[in-house]
Amino acid sequence: MSAFLEEDGNFGWIPDPEEVERIVGLQPVGEFAQSAAWRSEAPLPGQVFLWELARKYTGGLLPPANQGKVGSCVAFGTARAIQYTTLGEMSRGDPDPPVPLVEEAIYGTSRVDIGKGRLGRSDGSTGAWAAEAVRGLGLLKRGWCEGIDLSRYDPARCRNWGQSGVPKVLKNAMRLHPVRGISRVKTWEEAKRALASGSAIALCSRVGFVRTRDSEGFCTQRGTWGHCMCLCGYQTGNREGGRLDNSWGTEAHTGPVGLGNPGPEGFWADAETLGEMLAEGDSWAFSAVEGFPDRGVISWWI
């Protein structure tokens, strides 16, 4: 499966401020800045690397994702953020490890059930629709379900479900695995606090990057991407920034992976750039607990 690269000209994030505000208004705590987690007085660590929880609890990193030539990045960024958030729950004693999720289901429910099919036959979705889909309709785990083999990502199925919706026979299985809380993250300071509390972020924006990482694992801002990636860690100090997991496979980015030795599927971005991306207003944190209460800072290090 080839990587989904910028020259394909179709990334998959659709900005829709009115719909974002509608979804924010449906939540008990629609803005992370209004949450008890944001008001926490627990000191922020200088670094948070959520992928270290994968090494700690599963023995390795989460497998790199590849959306193929379908504009399903929002589903992939959302699924990845939920998997990291599950690892954060493991650090608090939850015994259930992250499992591969069916991104096609997130894509289909976001577009059809939440977005009401208004995008027609074009690709893409909004971060808000995907967040509301996993909260209201739930998740599917990879494997066999109701006689359907969902063990591997299928781009054709993804596009089909994005047009016609997830089959009704699978909806009951999805409802068994809802996400309890979603909240919009709009600033870099909010993002650091969310990550420190164990919540990864599906970050949607029009900011593009070069695809070659520098000696510290960072990619420089360049061009325009209508895209969603997963923000899964941060570093402060001499060069403050955050780690973005992408969904274009292992070969889309080259060069050293940088601090914390994350996987090859992403890159670090400078804090100023991430602040610009978050300010576009359609990035979401996820929680296993409703309302984003103050649960302190997770222990992410090995």
User: pLDDT tens digit string along 70-95?
Assistant: 999 999 999 999 999 999 999 999 88
Query: What's the whole-model pTM score?
Result: 0.96
The residues that bridge with 248 in the sheet, in sequence order, are 66
CB 127 within 8 A of CB 13: yes
Question: Domains of the chain: which residue ranges?
Answer: 31-287
Q: Tokens in use for 196?
A: 């420190």
User: What was the pLDDT predicted at 230?
Assistant: 98
Query: Which residues partner with 183 through β-bridges?
Result: 285
Q: Are strands 148-149 and 241-245 parallel, antiparallel or unpaired?
A: unpaired
**What's the CA gap between 250 and 263, in Å, rounded?**
8
CB 278 within 8 A of CB 269: no
Write out the CATH class of domain 31-287.
alpha beta
Ordered per-residue pLDDT tens for the chain, 302 residues? 333 344 444 489 999 999 999 999 999 999 999 999 999 999 999 999 999 999 999 999 999 999 999 999 999 999 999 999 999 999 999 888 899 999 999 999 999 999 999 999 999 999 999 999 999 999 999 999 999 999 999 999 999 999 999 999 999 999 989 999 999 999 999 999 999 999 999 999 999 999 999 999 999 999 999 999 999 999 999 999 999 999 999 999 999 999 999 999 999 999 999 999 999 999 999 998 888 999 999 988 75
- Separation between Cα atoms, residue 230 and residue 245, nearest integer Å: 5
Q: Which residues contact 50 (CB under 8 A, 6 or more apart)?
A: 84, 87, 88, 195, 198, 200, 232, 233, 300
